[in-house]
Every structure is written in structure tokens, then in C-alpha cells.
Amino acid sequence: MKKYNKHLMTYIVLTAIAAALPLGRDVYVQHLLTLTLILAIYALSYNIIVGYMGLFSFGHQAFFGLGGYTIGLLSLGEASAGRSALPLSLAWPVWATLPASLLVCAIAGYVIGYVSLQMRGVYLGLVTLGFAMLIWMATINERHFTGGVSGVRGIPPFELTLPGLPTLELSSPFSFYYFALVLLVFTIYFISRLTKSRFGRALVALRENEERASALGVDAFKYYLMAFTIAATLAGLAGFAYSYYLRYITPTALGITFLWSAVIMVIIGGTGTLLGPVIGAFIFVFVPEVFRIAEELRLLLFGAALVVVIIFLPQGIYPSLVSLWDRFILRRQERKGIEGEISK
Amino acid sequence: MDWALFAQQVFYGLSNGMAYALFAIGLVVIFGILGIINVAHGEFYMMGAMIFSWLVAIQGVNLVVAAVIALAVGVIIGILSNRLVVQPIYGKPSFVLATFLATLGLSIFLANLATVVWGAFPINVTTPFSLVVRPGGIAIAGDRIVLFVIGGAVLWLLMQWMSKSLLGKQLQAAAQDAVSARLVGINLMRVYAIGFGLASVLAVVSGILMAPIWTSNPYMGPLVILKGFIVTIVAGMGNFRGAIIVGLLLGLVEAIFGQYVAVQYREAVGYGVMILVLLFKPEGLFRR
Amino acid sequence: MLKINNLNVHYGRVHALKDVSLEVKDGELVTLIGSNGAGKSTLLMTISGIKKPTSGVVEWEGIRIDKLPSHNIVSLGIVQVPEGRHLFPKMTVLENLELGACLSKDTGWNKQNIQRVCSYFEVLGQRMNQLAGTLSGGEQQMLAIGRALMANPKLLLLDEPSLGLAPLIMEDMAQVIRDLRKEEGIAILLVEQNAHLALELADRGFVLETGSIVVSGTADKLLNSKLVKKAYLGL
Amino acid sequence: MRKRIYVLVAVVLAISILVPTIGCQPQEAVEKGKEPVKIGFALATTGPFSYDGLLEAQALAIAVERINNAGGILGGRMVEGVVRDHGYVTENAVTAVNKLIFDDKVDAIIGLEDTALIWAAEDIMHQAQVPYVEFGGNPPGWPEAADVGAFRIGFVMDQLVSGYFTYWVEKGVTSMVVAAPDTTFIVDSYSEVFVPFAEQYGIELFPLITYPVGTPDFLPQLAKGAAYDADLFLGVNFFNSEIPREMMGMQELGVPLYAKLFDIPTEETIVQVVDAAEGVIIPSMTAFVYDDNPVMTDFREAYAAKTGLPAPHYWTSNAWMAFHALVYGMEAAGVTGKGDLAAIDAGIKAASWRNLQGDPVQWTENGAIVYKNVILAQIQGGKFVKIGTIPAGPAPPDIYGKVLPPGTTDVGAKFPGE
């Protein structure tokens, strides 16, 4: 119990520091931080598949985009008239679009997972990629329904009205940052509870040795499908935040570039860790910005940086930091021990 | 039914398919031997096409000389990539995922490097074969015939080399069972280096052959890499003959589907087939 | 010839071999018996250079080989026939044999060598162009040994050659092992679960339990040892 | 577990130290009224579209240098250009614009050469009261009448198309293939612009979606279009790298009359590809290139003096035009317009256009500066030759927001021989 409290305290401290980050910064940095948090949720959801399940999925971007598109299509209303070529004007409020987008992603995740989770390894990755590409193609081509390549424009700002409470309107990166922070904290809490549950332990057992876990009576397919659906739903949550934040969504959001970003964030940060993907998202957003000192070379440098990091820290940055810290602490303890002996 | 148009589509489909096959075969080599997906394969292909086009169209170098230089640079890039990017992480845990990211980083790097060196403007090459004949109303372009002839020859040589030469057999052996390959005394690291070199040569060859047909720019790699994935998977891992057949079929099916069914979904056919094959025949269509 | 001193091998945190020391002399047949998971295969893989030891020394004819890559070890004459055969299933018998000799460049000599292998295993001669994956279990084992012989070994590491074989074929295999020793003077390190067979063939033996050698000695001595009798011979 | 916690705190602290270092630039004290006018250029300097972006950046740098050599604007204030890359990706465009406005603190923004990019970033710029000039692809109806301080230099799809239809109808064209890629918004505009005009002019239209979503070779699709056997094959495309391939394909397929709706990147490329094809006609939406316009003459001369090369047309000359519209507007308004969009709005609209006498541009109702004419150029004997001017036609009735029922653009519905 005591240990749990200490843990909780750390997270509270971390959240407090995170909450203090955008204070006093200009909107540009606030925007980057907000983007980081949204992408961190997305990376965490991808980490469930890659890190905790130990499987490949190259189709995760589809769920991110589906979440975003659901918002886009359901929230358009009279206010967006003239700004969108779509004939839709459903004008659903936030409390309705949120469950809708999560539900769409959960169903999509369940269906795609059900079909493709019989595969393993690279094959699973490519079959999910196939599904994602099909969804992407349909989004581009069925423009009477999706807005085509120009995307959905004129998504109303995030506005939550609950009875008895003042209306919550988030129209600036600064205010959206705290909303995204709440979502991120929820996601981290949810995943940490999940991994500590019986379900999470079963997943880890499956990751370590699927045959043995299956022999012990773990229904691999059922667990994988469940986890895949959860990951898809969380990706939808990230897409939800993304869509309301930028207030505009294009097929890029479910295209292959968002697969690359997920892969980069999770692997650079550290697969199978709770905070690795968050660090990965930070790096993914901020490092290309740091390279803005040379606008034309920034992606060249970013590509090179990716290679270098993965060669020297193939486990990702977060686990390497932990082990570095380990060594540091150990050495200090050793030194202390020696000093202690000398003083005796 | 307009038969001339049908024949035209078959011709275009097959020549596109030849390009897919030629490109994919290098992916098949790497995927077969190392079990990894080389995302940067498209950029090897791009480097081949760009170096060749730049030398021929901008510098006025002789075709053959340009091709040789492009091949040489391609081999160097392939071997260096293997040495500097893949080998350092070989055998580490999560090797497959790590190489996926490392080669992704490499592909970003190479595409942007090419932009810095040559600019992103497309380079167009005309060769002495860039002419068109129209037997029976079907447009047959000389460059496509060259693609068929040289591409076919390269694929045939590759198959012969793979099945006849000791080195080719070593490559196959490493693909089939890495541990016993080491136990019979095969130097795995050397085989991997050769495999990577070979794959990049094949990518460069396909780049050179495609340059006069498709024009070259630094971002042409990602356009074909997904086709390569489809071919690799549908054919079955490490299956060369299958990859050639599937590549040709993919081009053909896309052209015919685009002509007679729905042109905007022609790309979907490949993915649909890939999904179905993986679900019902996961070892690939052409199991040897 | 082969000398192993205080060898330690880890798989992650699992200590697979603990201070193992043993020796195989010229032309000797030494057997290693032990139950499943005792570390027998790990020992062979370490000798072959597939698995790197955490500490200890493996010496072969006075040269340290524990840091050498596996192909160099093969070229020194230490060849392993791995457990479960590990053939190249999509290649023909002939190709498998050729790959066994992939370190030698002399093809004429290789042909002689193939004939030599066929003299031990006549069946293989009849199935030269069949895919290795389609052979029966016994034939596969023959091919695996044949492939190893193609490399002209001075020391053959045999890992469970009798596994999954019918008793009759097992007897054939035992005969081949005897012949190899007698006619070619090849030293053999034989790993077996079938302790009866192993000790019958061997000059000396070691018993490996959870990574440590617990008993060693001549085959006769082991056959009469209480521990071996109880645990491995089922007497 | 505890060390983990330390690591976390260390990382977060590192982040919080790193974050403020981004976006902190030393501010030099400058005499009030003499500080430079900062203009942000949001361009694609990386990615497949950098062939445009880098050229635009180059042209804009020359423009900035020239203005400064002439003594600057607004009573001697120098102009400072800040290039920020968006790589043609929507959320990167938002980032680049945020960087320009809140970190670089620019007075105005030029760039965002694509519909999706401007749509993603327009609200940010408008809320920050930063005037912006766009010079790329435009959806019909943008900017909206309410968008004070938002400008567009270039073409308007509907006027371009209507002028085009008038021209070809006169030439006796009664059927037309319109081949558009499936990755640009042109496909959307297709139903909104082409179909109403075709109905109006009585032209039979064969819609064709071509071009890659990752297809390296779209000749099968062009072959399909060629088989419609229409009087004119009209290529509509955005992705420049495809133009040479497209033209090669037309040549290969023996299409008799082939025209492009937009300009092409360089004369060299196009001539190299279609040297002998007399049937190929290219309209120039950057009409200035072939017109005797003082601003464009300046552009050609300044570019040649700096680089020794002929000036690239396409978006580059649009960028040049946009820059001058902005600085002349600032001059006329007497302010940069930042924080006071109405002033710059009036300024740009009232600008003397001192170098634009006889300018081939006009204002549209919603506040865009568009070309009055479309210049048609033909390749003759390895050179571009101006063959005529098409006056911009009227807009078709209610083209935007009018969504045609699904199936109208069903590709292949009218395929002959089926």
C-alpha cells in the first residue's frame, strides 16, 4: 500500500510538471506540446500491440484516422455551412461524438483484428497494412461521403456542455493542452491498470511464450483480439483529440505517414514501457523542430538521427535511460559502500 | 469488346508487372535471408534511377557507362547500409522491429539526401530505344521492350545463379535455416552482406530500367515499396519464381481492373489479394 | 585435442552451463548423457561457436576457439550434426551434401567425398535429386551425418542421432558411428538420451545435470555407476 | 521501482529545460520604426514538393534583396524573409504557421500553396490578425468574402475552366476527356466545375481518374482515356513530377490533341519530352510569363541576373507576384497590417500597383487577385510559342456547395465498346 502511494505521488508530481510546461511559453511551443500529448496517446495505443502483445501491426493509422473522421463527419453543423462541401449537418455535440468515434474504432479494431490475428510476425503487419490501405483508398475515393482528398473542413471547436456546469470551450492550443493532458493521464492510468490486471499478465505471458501460455490454458486469440480492440479504441481517442484540435482532417490522418510516426515514436521511446512512447512522441515532435536551424536539411538530419539512435539504443531511449540511471545509482551505492567501510 | 485496347492493357499491365517483379525480387532476397522488411529498398531503387538519369540526361554520359556507375554506387550503398545500419543491430532483441525503424530512418535520409544533391525536380531520360511502334493499333514503346528483355535476362541469370552456384546455394541455405547454415560453415555475416549487395544491385537495375519509362525523382521509392510488399507476401517468403509470376500478375490485374471495373480502386486489388492470400494460404501462392 | 575448461554459458539470466570441463582425445568417442534441458545441446552449440560462452576456454589442437566465428570452427574440422537434423528442406540431397563441403573449393575432390558418404549411406545415393524435406526421418538423419562428413571433420559433434528413429535404423546408425571411428579415425562427441546405446559405443562418458558435470569416467565405469543406472538406464 | 521514478523526473526536467530553448531567440534592440518588416514564407522545402518550394524560396530571396537594395519599405524599413518548411503536410503547416507567428513574430505570411494547407492554417492566421497571401491551388470560393486580410494570387478554377471551354468550343471541340489524379482536390472540383460548364456548353465529357495513389505508371489509365476517342484530351494535374510522364504517354498513345489545364514546370523538360508533338497545348495560368508585365519583366531580369538561368514559371512567378502585392499593399496602407487586417485589406486593394500598370490581374468578388487572361502556349519547333489569350469567362451558376449526386462522375460509365 505504501509503495502504491509512493508510485501515485510520482505520477502526481510528473503530471504537475507536465501541467506547468506550457505556462509562459508562446503559442508555438504550446502547440507543439499539445501535438505531443495527442500523438503520445496514439503512440501508447500502438505500444499495446507492439510492446505488450509483441505483435506487428502496420495498420494502426486506420484507427487514428477513423476516430478523427467520425468526429469530422458527425460534428459538422450549420456553423460550418459554406466551409465544407459535404452535405452533412448532423451537428452532434462532443458528448455524443466521443462515444461514437470510440465505438467506430472499437468495431473496426474488432473486425480487422478478428480477421487478421490468425497471422503472426510480419504477415500480421502486412495484412493489417492491407486493411488500412483499403480504408485510406475508400476515404479518398468516396468523396461524396468523406470529402475526398481535401478532407473535412470546418469542424466546430471542442465545446462541452453538461447540465449544471459552465460550458467548456477549448479553442486555443493552451486550453486544449490541458484537455489532452487529462486524456493522456487517463490513458496512462488505464494502460498501467490493464498491464497489472490478470488480462495484462496473460498478455505478457503470451508475448514471452505463446505456445506455453496456450498450453496453460490462455486463449491466445481471445486475449489478442481483446487487446487489439482496446488499442484501436485508444487510437480512436487520439484521433478524436487530433480532429478537435486541428479542426480539420484529411486522408493523411489514416495514410501511411501516420504508420511511420507510430513506429518511430514507439520504438525510439522504448517498446513495452509506459512512458517510452510519451518520450518518443516528444522526440518525434520536437527533434524536427530543433533541426529547423536548417530547414532544407531537417528531414535528412532526422532520418540520420533515427538510424543512429536505433543502432546505439536498439531498445529505445527510455529503457536505456533507466539502465543508465541504474548504473549511476549502483556506482554511487558502491562508492558509498566503500566509503562506509573506510570510515569503519 | 475492343480487342486492341484489351491487348494494349495487357501489354501495359505486363510491363508494369515486370517492373514490380524486378523491384520486388530484391525485397524477397532480403526478406528471405534475414526475415526483415527493408523499407529503404525503394530508396535503393530511387538512387539507381536518379544516378543513371542524372548522368545521362544532365551530364551527357554514355548509357552503359552511366548504368555501370549507377550499379557500382548501388552496390556500395547496399553494402554500407548493411554494414552500418543492419549489422550493428543484428541479433539484438526485437531485431525485426528495430531494423524496420532503422531502414525507415535510412529511407528518409536517402530521399532527402537525393533532394539535397539533385533537387526534387523529376529527371527525364530518353534512350535510343525511346520510340513507339503501333502494330494493329497497339502502342509498343521501345523502352518497355528493353525492360522486358534486360529485366527478363537479369531475372533468369539470378535464378540460374541462385540454383547453380555455390554462393547462390549458400544464400538459399541461409534463408532456409540460419543455424544449420552456420553449422556447415557458411559465414552468415558474409552471406548477409552479399544478399544486401545483391538486393541493392537488383533495386538499381530496376531503377535504371524504369527511369526512361517513369522519370525519376527522389520520392519515387515509396510509390513502389508497397507493391514490393504485396509481391513478396503473395508469392511466399523467399520464393523467387513465385515473385516473378506474382509481380507480372499484379501489374496485369491492376491494368485490367482499372480498364473494366473501377479505375479508382485498381490499387485496392493488390491489397485485397494480399489479405486473402495471407488468410487462406499464408505460406504464399507458390510454395516450392 | 578438444579441451574445455570451466565453461560458463548464460541464456539471459539462465545459467545454462556451470564450470563445465571436459576433454576429447584423438580418435576417441566420448559421450555426454543427461536428461532434457541439462545443457547438452548448449554445450555443442558453444563448441560450434553458435553460442558464445560468458567465461571459460574451449581449446582445439592448442588453439582457443571460443571466440572464433562458427565458420572458422568448421574449417578447423569440428562439425556438428544438430539435434532434429536441421537440413535445408527445400534443397535436394545433393545440394545439401554440396553445402556441407561449402568451405572447400575443390569440386573434383567433393565428388569423391560424395561417393564416400554414399558408401556409408547407400539410400542417399538413390535419392540424390529428391528434396531433403521429403525424406523419411532415418534418411534425414543419414543426410545430416553425410552433410557433416562432407566437411572432412576431425571431430564430429553428434546431437541425439537416435532421436525418433525406429530401433532397426538406430542399430544401423550405431554401426555407422562405429565404422566412422574405425575407418576414418574421426573423434566423436556423442550426445544421447539413450544412455544404453551411447555407453555401448563410447570409450568414455560424462553425465550432465542442470548445467554441471556430475559424473565422468570410462564407459564401463559409468555403466556400473549407481547414478547412471538409476537415472538413465532405468535399472 | 524507485530508480524509474528518478529517471522520469530527470527526463521531465530535461524536457522542461529543452522546451524553452526552442522558440527563444535573442531580441536585438532596434530603433523604433526602423525594425525590419518580417515576412514569413511557409513553403515546402522538404518532401516531393520541394522542387517548387525551393525555387519559390529562391525567387522570394531575390525579391527581398531587391526591395532592400531599393531602400526597403514604409520609410526605410528593411524586409526580412523567414522561410519555414511545411513539407506539404497539413499538421506541419499548422506547426510552421505557429512558428512563424508566435516564435518568429512575422508581420505577414506568404505561402501554403495547397488547399489542404491553407484550410488547416487559415483560422490560426486570422485569429492572430496576421495578413496572408496564398498563391497556390485554390478551391473555388476561397477566400470567403468575410476573410479580411486574406489574399490569393493566381487563378480561379471556375474562370480558368470557363475561359477554356469558350476557346475550345470555338475551335469545334464537342467532346473532351478530363483526366485528373485521384490524389488532389481537382477531382472534387471536377464535379463542381467541369460538369456544370460542360452542360452549359454542350460538351460531352469523359471523366477519367488517372494518376497514382502510389502507382508508378499510370499509362494503363491514360490508355483507357485515349480510347474514349474524344476531340481533346485535357490533362489536369498537380503533381509536377508526373507531367513529363503524362506527356510521354500521350505521345506514346498517339493522342492527336492534348492540352494541359495548368502551366508546366520548366520549358526544358516539356520540350525535351514532346519536342515533335505539335498537338500539345499548354495554357499558362501564370500569364505574366508571356506577357509584357513590368513586374514579371523584373522577375525575369532579377532571376537571370542572380542565377544566370531563365526564370522558372509555375508557382514561382506567383510567389513573386504575391510578395509584391503584399509589400506594395503595406506601402499603400502605411502599416504592415499585423493586428489591423482592415488596413492591409484596404492597402492592398488600393495599392497603386506602381509596377503593375496594365496588369493582367483583376479582383474577384471575394477578394482574390486573379489573372484576367489565360495564355495559351504551344510547343513549336522545340520552343514555347504564345498562340493566344483566352479571357477569363464567367463563373458557372452556383458551382460551389452544389454537390452532384453520386454516380455523376462514375468513371467508365460512358466507355465505348462496353
CB contact under 8 A, B19 and D217: yes
Interface check for D309 against chain A (CB to CB < 8 A): the answer is: no
CA–CA gap between residue C74 and residue A269 (Å, rounded): 41
Q: Which amino acid, A303?
A: G
- CATH class held by domain B3-280: mainly alpha
Residue B39: predicted pLDDT: 92
* CATH code, domain carrying D334: 3.40.50.2300
Q: Distance, in angstroms, between A239 CA and closest chain D CA?
A: 13
- Domain range holding D91? 2-155+290-371
Contacting chains of B (3 CB pairs or more, <8 Å) are A, C, D
Chains A and B touch (3+ CB pairs under 8 A): yes
The reply to whether residue B186 touches residue C71, judged by beta carbons under 8 angstroms, is: yes
Answer yes or no: do B89 and A307 touch at CB < 8 A: no
The beta-carbon neighbor of A311 closest among B35, B88, B109 is B88
Spatial distance between the Cα atoms of B191 and A25, rounded to a whole number of angstroms: 54
**Residues of B with CB below 8 A from C69's CB?**
187, 189
Does residue D411 sit at the A interface (CB-CB below 8 Å)? no
Residues B180, C88: C-beta atoms closer than 8 Å: yes
Work out the minimum CA distance from B54 to partner chain A, whole angstroms. 21
pLDDT tens readout for residues B10-53: 999 999 999 999 999 999 988 888 888 899 999 999 999 999 99
Determine, yes or no, domain membership for A15. Answer: no
Nearest CA in chain A to D91: A246
Contacts of A140 in chain D (CB under 8 A): 182-183, 213
Q: Do D182 and A27 touch (CB under 8 A)?
A: no
Asked if A204 and A318 sit in the same domain, the reply is no
For position A343, what pLDDT does the model report?
46
User: What's the CA dihedral at A15, A21, A24, A27 to 10 degrees?
Assistant: -120
**So what's the pLDDT on residue A336?**
65
CB contact under 8 A, A292 and D85: yes
What pLDDT shows up at residue A4? 57
Distance from CA of D104 to the nearest CA of A (A): 10
Residues of D in contact with B2 (CB under 8 A): 227, 416-417
CB-nearest to C80 from B181, B183, B187 is B183
| Interchain CB contact of D49 with B (< 8 Å) | yes
Quickly tell me which residue has 501460455 as its cell: A213
- Look at residue A43 and tell me if it is in a domain: yes
Report how far residue B97's alpha carbon sits from residue B36's, in angstroms, rounded to the nearest whole number.
Answer: 8
What pLDDT, on the 0 to 100 scale, is given for residue D198?
83
Whether residue A62 lies within 8 A of chain B, CB to CB, comes out as: no
**Same-domain check for residues A326 and A280:** no
Residue A49 near chain B (CB below 8 Å): no
Residue B72 has pLDDT above 90, yes or no: yes
Residues A129, A254, single domain; the answer is yes
Helix, strand counts (H, E) of chain A: 14, 4
Predicted confidence at residue A104, as pLDDT, reads 96
Cβ-based contacts of D11 with chain A (< 8 Å):
275, 279, 318, 321
Specify the number of domains making up chain A. 2
Instruction: Tell me if A27 sits within 8 A of A100, measured CB to CB.
Output: no
Q: Does C5 touch chain B (CB under 8 A)?
A: no
The CATH number of the domain holding residue A45 is 1.10.3470
From the list A10, A17, A286, the residue facing D5 with the nearest CB is A10
- Same domain for D105 and D222, yes or no, is no
Give me the domains of chain C, ranges plus CATH numbers: 1-77+153-235 (3.40.50.300), 86-152 (no CATH)
pLDDT higher than threshold 80 for residue A202: yes
pLDDT one-digit tens code per residue, A239-270: 999 999 999 998 989 988 999 999 999 999 98
Residues A296 and A319 in one domain: no
Per-window interface: D 102-121 vs A, CB < 8 A: 102-103, 115-116, 119-120
Q: Please check whether residues D365 and D335 belong to one and the same domain.
A: yes
Task: Mark whether D186 and D220 lie in a shared domain.
Answer: yes
DSSP C192: E
**CB atoms D51 and B122 under 8 Å:** yes
Q: Is the pLDDT of residue B269 over 70?
A: yes
Of B213, B218, B262, the CB nearest to D217: B213
- Same structural domain, D70 and D174: no
Structural domain boundaries enclosing A209: 28-301
Residue whose C-alpha is closest to residue C207's, from C235, C226, C228, C229: C228
C91 touches chain B (CB under 8 A): yes
Flag if A300 and B112 touch (Cβ within 8 Å). yes
Q: Is the pLDDT of residue C105 over 90?
A: no
pLDDT at D29: 58
Dmax (CA) for chain B in angstroms is 60
- 8 Å CB contact of B176 and C90: yes
Whether residues D98 and A250 touch (CB distance < 8 A) is answered with no
Q: What is the pLDDT of residue A132?
A: 95
**Span C192-218, pLDDT tens digits:** 878 888 888 888 888 888 888 888 888
Instruction: Report the pLDDT value the prediction gives residue A144, as an integer from 0 to 100.
Output: 74
CA distance A259 to chain D (A): 15
The tens place of each residue's pLDDT in chain D, 418 residues long, gives 455 666 666 666 666 555 655 555 555 556 666 889 999 999 999 888 888 888 899 999 999 999 999 888 888 899 999 999 998 888 899 999 999 999 999 999 999 887 788 888 988 998 899 999 988 766 656 777 677 888 887 766 666 777 778 888 888 889 988 887 765 555 555 666 777 788 888 888 887 776 654 567 888 888 888 888 888 888 876 566 677 777 778 888 888 788 877 766 566 666 566 554 556 677 766 555 556 666 777 888 888 898 888 777 667 888 888 898 899 889 888 888 888 888 988 888 777 554 444 556 666 666 667 777 777 777 776 667 777 777 766 655 544 444 433 333 333 333 333 2
pLDDT value for D20: 53
Testing the interface with A: which of B278, B279, B281 to mutate, by most A Cβ within 10 A?
B278
Number of Cβ within 10 Å of residue D245's Cβ equals: 23
H-helix segments, B83-187: 95-118, 142-164, 166-176, 178-183
Judged by a CB distance cut-off of 8 A, whether residue A314 touches chain B is yes
Asked if C70 and B176 come within 8 Å (Cβ–Cβ), the reply is no
Residues A294 and A329 in one domain: no
| Angle, CA of D312, D166 and A83, to the nearest 5° | 70
The Cα of C86 is separated from the nearest Cα of chain B by a number of Å equal to 6
Cα separation, A34 vs A280, whole angstroms: 14
The pTM (predicted TM-score) of the whole model is 0.89
| Gap between the Cα atoms of D150 and A163, Å rounded | 39
DSSP reduced 3-state for D52: helix
| Domain match, D128 and D228 both | no
Using an 8 Å CB-CB cutoff, list residues of chain B that contact chain C.
166, 169-170, 172-173, 176-177, 179-189, 288
Residue D415 lies in a domain: no
Alpha helical stretches, state H, chain C: 40-48, 70-75, 93-100, 107-120, 122-126, 137-149, 167-179, 195-201, 219-224, 226-231
* Number of other residues whose CB lies within 10 A of the CB of residue D199: 11
Residue to test with chain D: of B3, B129, B259, B260, most D Cβ within 10 A? B259
Verify that D349 and D386 share a domain, yes or no: no
Q: Which among B36, D123, C153, C149 has a CA at the least distance from the CA of A31?
A: D123
Candidates B3, B5, B224: best to mutate against D (most CBs of D within 10 A) is B5
CB contact under 8 Å between A298 and D213, yes or no, is no
Query: Domain coordinates of chain B in residue numbers?
Result: 3-280
Minimum CA–CA partner of D21 in chain A: A290
What was the ipTM of the complex prediction? 0.87
| Statement to judge: residues D27 and D116 lie in one domain | yes
Residues A203 and A263 in one domain: yes
Regarding whether D238 and D94 lie in a shared domain, the answer is no
A36-50, C62-76, D105-119: range with highest mean pLDDT: A36-50
Q: How confident is the model at residue A85 (pLDDT cuts 50, 70, 90)?
A: low
- Are D137 and D281 part of one and the same domain? no
Least confident of A285-289, C7-11, D256-260, D273-277: D273-277
Question: Which residue in B has a C-alpha nearest to residue A54's C-alpha?
Answer: B94
Collect all residues of chain D within an 8 Å Cβ-Cβ radius of residue B265. Answer: none
Q: Is A267 on the interface with B (CB under 8 A)?
A: yes
- Are D6 and D145 members of one domain? yes
Residues of B in contact with A296 (CB under 8 A): 115-116
The predicted model gives A284-311 an average pLDDT of 89
Whether A5 is in a domain gets the answer no
Determine the Cα–Cα distance for residues C161 and C156; give it in Å rounded to an integer.
12
* Chain C and chain B touch, per 3+ beta carbon pairs within 8 A: yes
- The mean of the pLDDT values for chain C is 86
> CB distance D99–A28 less than 8 Å?
yes
Do D174 and D108 belong together in one domain?
A: no
Give me the residue label for grid cell 493489417: A128
C-beta atoms of B2 and D49 within 8 A: no
